[in-house]
Amino acid sequence: MIPILTNKHFGEPSVFTADNLLREARRQKGLALKQVPPLCVLDPDGDIGRLLLHTGRARVSPDWACYHTELLVGEQAGVEMGLVRYAVGASFAVLVAEELFAAGCQLLVSVTSAGQIADLFGTPPYFVLIEQAWRDEGTSHHYLPPGERVAFRPELRRRLEGAFASAPIRVHAGAAWTTDAPFRETAAAIQFYREQGVAAVEMEAAALYAFAEARAKPVVCLAHVTNQMAVRPGDFEKGRDFGSHDAWEVIRLTAHAWFSAGGPAPWETIPPSP
């Protein structure tokens, strides 16, 4: 077997941990120990964070100790949300996810751009709630034994049932193909995943779900399907402000469904995007 599938020791804890990394970063930067907001968002394209900064609804946190990213913190009707931009790809997304949960995150939502594989839901743009992801990347194999796919956690499926009925844009449940090599999406590979009923291709979900399964953490991955591989001009149109308003509404509905089902629900007051 190739090295990516061997010598992993899944039951053994890691020597290098996010907690210790953040401890040393705080020491070096002179930062106090402060938790991140309960709701955190990964925004690989950066469009959601750009909107929140432009409209004065977010600021850069001075307390985030990560060496590689900035944490935007926005207050929505008294409830804080943390957002990290540009965490593109499986390994980077999981690195940030480990750090966010180590710092107090209670729900992580990833909203990533994606390409259409099977034409199951019509012409883009629309969102896919990724219920399972095909593991065509490396990071997931460090968290779970080899396997074709990984699914999101059952309690998430239950809590998100019917959550997007009022969304302003189409949100469909489906499968994704997670790849580390977007510019190696060959016709043969696309056809294979199309035959499996895969809705979209993206770069983070399989790794994030493997991390979530191994660490028992709530992670929701959404694919914002915006393109058909740019094989014709005019692709990658997301909507107003690069789809940020629609994406924020989907995040809001996700957070409402998760937190209101599990305890106190100030999350009901998170407002829609203006």
% of the chain beyond a pLDDT of 70 = 93
Class of domain 39-230+239-262: alpha beta
Q: Mind listing the pLDDT tens digit for each residue in 212-257?
A: 999 999 999 999 999 888 888 888 888 888 889 999 999 999 999 9
The letter for the amino acid at 218 is P
Average pLDDT rounded to a whole number, residues 159-179 = 94
pLDDT for 264 beyond 50: no
Angstrom distance (rounded) from CA 35 to CA 221:
23
Per this entry, what is the length of the chain?
274
Angstrom distance (rounded) from CA 196 to CA 82:
35
Whether residue 112 contacts residue 223, with contact meaning beta carbons closer than 8 Å, is answered with yes
Residue 154 C-beta-side C-alpha neighbours within 13 Å = 0
pLDDT at site 27 = 97
Whether residue 107 contacts residue 101, with contact meaning beta carbons closer than 8 Å, is answered with no
pLDDT at site 260 = 84
Q: For residue 218, what are the contacts with CB-CB under 8 A and spacing of at least 6?
A: 106, 107, 108, 153, 155, 156, 212, 258
Mean residue pLDDT of the chain comes to 91
pLDDT at site 268 = 40
Average pLDDT rounded to a whole number, residues 133-152 = 97
The DSSP element (H or E) to which 134 belongs, if any, is: strand 126-136
First to last CA, the chain: 52
Q: Mind listing the pLDDT tens digit for each residue in 82-122?
A: 999 999 999 999 999 999 999 999 999 999 999 999 999 99
In order of 251, 252, 273, the CA distances from 260 in angstroms are 14, 12, 20
Whether residue 53 contacts residue 72, with contact meaning beta carbons closer than 8 Å, is answered with yes
Q: Which residues pair with 107 in a beta bridge?
A: 39
Residue 100 C-beta-side C-alpha neighbours within 13 Å = 35
Q: What is the pTM of this model?
A: 0.93
pLDDT at site 273 = 41
| Residue 217 DSSP SS3 | coil
Angstrom distance (rounded) from CA 223 to CA 171:
9
